[in-house]
Structure 1
Amino acid sequence: MSDDTIRLATVGRIFRRRRRLIAVLAVVGALVGYGTSMVFPPRYTASASVLLPGAWEERELLTQVEIATSSSVLDRTAAALGRPGVNGAALRDRVSAKTTDGNIIKVSGTEDTPERAQQLADRLAQQFVAFAARITGGGTETEAATAPAALRQKVVDTNRRITDLAKAADTGQSVESVQARTVLQKLSTALEEAMEKLERAESATDKGGLVVMGPAPRPTGEAPPTRIQLVVAGTLLSVLLTIVGHLTAARMNRRLRTEPEIAAALGSELLGTVDVPADHSAQRARGPRARIRRLLGTDTRWDVPAPQTSGDETSRRIRYRRLCARLREQHPAPRRLLVVVPRGDGIAGLAAAQLVTEAGSDPSANAADRGCPELRVVEVPVDRPMVPDSDTESGALVVLSAGTWTAGELAGLAGACADGGHDVVGIVVAGPVPAGPERPAERTPDDAAPALAVRGHATGEPV
């Protein structure tokens, strides 16, 4: 896992094998989100629209947005609200403004009740319009509306008077007549230019006439994040953190999970793999922590290949007998072997005990030079490995489970075997599998024979 690319299949395997843990953590995350929503009260947001008549450039609209949330407007809004202890600085985090299509600025206010939010948005829009009209420097609204109209009417009357004078002037070709008509034509042209300037000035003046487009509607729902959003966010965040935690732990985990890696670390060959029913391995692990691990589904590894469903007891015994047959073929002469099991590896301990039982009940055990080697089991601590000295044993058979030990720990175990005068003659990898349907196992006359192996001690004490 540490060298593999993370794929969707890996995430899917985490969901399949850790579904109970993920479900529990998802519920915890939902409860945390719900608790967070109880700490922070609900918020409501109301918005009012302000129309900016005339032609406005984008940078001018952005300037108006900044004015809407400026300290001057906020101070005036706080004064208009008349709430005790509320000033412009307190409103800065509760209001906002943004531009929309059609020269419209939407100002918003957020409060703890819909009524207060609506009131804040309305007061903010009113004070924004009033402040914008003040900085444009215009007079009263009546004067601003009547003065251009009166001036335009005077210009129209003057232009008509000039036309009448031009018609009444002498139509002769005298110098005085020509000069009079020229002066009148220049005066008419000047008036037309003045009218154009007046219209442009009126258009620019109209930009200051901001209009509030009605009162802000009262909000009917909470502003995000709502309680439901916090619950969903807590659930998703807990699931995401669980997946990331599993992937990070797998990346940092240096325990060997494949048979070739285990064989290379111990410097020997793999004789075979055996299985241990999951219910038997669960019986070995007892206590509150073991029960919690079984309840959450963390008692099995998720980063190892999926275990094959075990057959009945007869099928499992056949696999152990085939392993004994391989030992008999490699060591035909009668000999004793030391079965080394890392201390704390419960699955390997169960597999070693079953292997000893099958070796003792081997049908050819009593035949000369054809029986399975006698086996003696010892548990060796991997932190300070110590294997009994070679006495009558002529080799060591290492039984362990995959994904439990690192390469350094297995190398130390192999070194301890060498120090005790034992050659590692083979490796057996054990793994837990779901227990299949139980059927009566086939019994042979030799099944009743006592086991030829006994359990030893890693300290080398006599057995």
Structure 2
Amino acid sequence: MNEDPIRLVTIGRMFRRRRRLLTVLTLVGALAGYGTSVLFPPRYTASASVLLPGQWEQRELLTQVEIATSSAVIDRTAAVLGWKGVGGAELRDRVSAKAADGNIITISGTAESPERSQQLADRVAQQLVAFAERIAGRGTDSEETTGPEVLRQQVEETNRRITDLAEAADPGQTVESVQARTALEKLRTTLAEAMKKLDEADPATNKAGLVVMGPATRPTGQAPPTRTQLIGAGALLFLLLSVIGHLTAARMNRRLRTEPEIATALGSAPLGSVDVPAERPAHRPQGRDPRAWIRRLLDLDTRWDVPTPRTSGDEDSRRIRYQRVCARLKDRAPGTRRLLVVVPDGDDIARRAAARLVTEAGNDPSPASPGGEHPVLRVVEVPVSRPLLPDRDTESGALVVLSAGSWTAAELAGIAGACADGGYEVVGSVVAGAVRTARPARPADRPADKAPALAAHGHATGESE
């Protein structure tokens, strides 16, 4: 597992090297959001306001909100609307209410068209007002008359009877008649006071009736989530999942990066590292395999988690690295005339480094040195999935050349096993890394057309050393 911390430069490198893949996945997410919007038809929401005059406490407002979304109001609304296939249970999921400032209850209705959403909000508001009037005893239905109203009617009838009794009493000034009229007036006063206390105790009489503050406004736009929001959410979701997937894969990367780890996996001694100038592939093989074509199109055959190549020195410094590797190889296998250079198939950096090693070994400047001349190298590319080397001929050993951060320990162990199976002893390993070459500075007093000739002359001089 790679323990390197994830930095912003890593994410930026991912977007730069995998921009085609990330773009395609983002478009796929947008198409998924569009498909979701097709499956779920658009919805429209309209709102109607109901005013509650008088003094209302917060808990009383919350009670009215619950009443607005109760089955007593919603079922009556469904009966009044008469929409086919839509009952109270379906409308209950489409209606919501909330208490706003100023004793106002906002009722919202959601439907598949602006006209239906406006109609639903208006009907729910009207049914809420009608239900509140029935509770307060101001309804028009005779069977819905409440107990306090019946009591008031009986008190009025009693007052009329008292008046009749007072008029039928002896109009004289006898003591009995005066006492009778006084008792009747006391009874009338007592009844009036009782009704007054009853009215004060009834909360429905202390507040005026609910009022609908005009019809609901017909909506002009869809209720969220809209089609545009679903498309954007799908694209963003797929992009985030792609980034997380890339970072997780990089975090779980088990490819070996350092020379000691690579040498341990191969069971050989490290002979050093060499630099290969980074360059774009000139021509990629145009195979007929559609999977290979898709990988090239989406840049899947390009490693994104490899750091940007560092800047290398001049050509002489790179040649010195190759010569040192050849010298160590000569010391490691003295008297060996031929070696097989094993390169993993598909490792372009290692292939170029191996070709440079063959060139440097063939240009041994001192064949008469005490250690002898460099061994003759022959490059062989082996597939990592099923490595297989040719039978041993004149080569007495194998030199493995590979790039850092490209292969796992199991893959390198397979290459080492293929070497042992072919009868080759792994005499060492060389790690190749891509570098950026620094452009030579052009002298200000030199003509531009002579610069290439001078550069070529310097390169030739270096090779003659």
Report the TM-score when normalising by structure 2. 0.72
Q: What percent of counterpart residues are identical?
A: 67
- Relative distance call for 1:343 and 1:135 in structure 2 (3 A) is same
- Relative distance call for 1:395 and 1:77 in structure 2 (3 A) is same
Q: Deviations over 1:30-85 (max 9, x none)?
A: 34334444554432211011223455555544443333223342332233334444
- Relative distance call for 1:409 and 1:224 in structure 2 (3 A) is same
Q: Distance in 1 between matches of 2:462 and 2:240?
A: 57
Which residue does 1:219 correspond to in 2? 219
C-alpha displacement at 1:350, in angstroms? 3.4
Q: Distance in 1 between matches of 2:296 and 2:66?
A: 60
Worse-matched range after superposition: 31-40 or 231-240: 31-40
Query: Which AA in structure 2 matches 1:378?
Result: V
Q: 3-state DSSP class of the match of 1:283?
A: coil
- 5 Å-filtered alignment, 1:284-363, equals 285-287=285-287, 289-290=291-292, 292-308=294-310, 319-328=321-330, 330-331=332-333, 333=335, 335-363=337-365
Query: Which AA in structure 2 matches 1:243?
Result: V
Which residue does 2:373 correspond to in 1? 371
Q: Which runs of 5+ in 1 are unaligned?
A: 155-183, 448-463
Q: Distance in 2 between matches of 1:435 and 1:446?
A: 18
Q: 3-state DSSP class of the match of 1:272?
A: strand
Q: 3-state DSSP class of the match of 2:238?
A: helix
Which residue does 1:180 correspond to in 2? none
Q: Deviations over 1:190-241 (max 9, x none)?
A: 987975663342x444458222222212223221112321222122112101
CA contact (8 A) 1:95 1:108 kept: yes
The aligned length equals 415
- Relative distance call for 1:222 and 1:428 in structure 2 (3 A) is same
- Relative distance call for 1:28 and 1:368 in structure 2 (3 A) is same
Report the TM-score when normalising by structure 1. 0.72
CA contact (8 A) 1:278 1:434 kept: yes
Which residue does 2:240 correspond to in 1? 240
Q: Deviations over 1:249-276 (max 9, x none)?
A: 2344433234342223223343333455
Worse-matched range after superposition: 361-370 or 86-95: 361-370
Q: 3-state DSSP class of the match of 1:442?
A: helix
Query: Which AA in structure 2 matches 1:44?
Result: Y
Query: Which AA in structure 2 matches 1:18?
Result: R
C-alpha displacement at 1:386, in angstroms? 4.6
CA contact (8 A) 1:281 1:347 kept: no
Q: Distance in 1 between matches of 2:275 and 2:138?
A: 93
- 5 Å-filtered alignment, 1:42-441, equals 42-56=42-56, 58-139=58-139, 195=196, 198-201=199-202, 203-206=203-206, 209-276=209-276, 279=279, 281=281, 283=283, 285-287=285-287, 289-290=291-292, 292-308=294-310, 319-328=321-330, 330-331=332-333, 333=335, 335-365=337-367, 369-387=371-389, 392-418=394-420, 420=422, 422-432=424-434, 440=456
Q: Distance in 2 between matches of 1:268 and 1:192?
A: 112
Q: Distance in 2 between matches of 1:383 and 1:208?
A: 86
Q: Distance in 1 between matches of 2:271 and 2:263?
A: 10
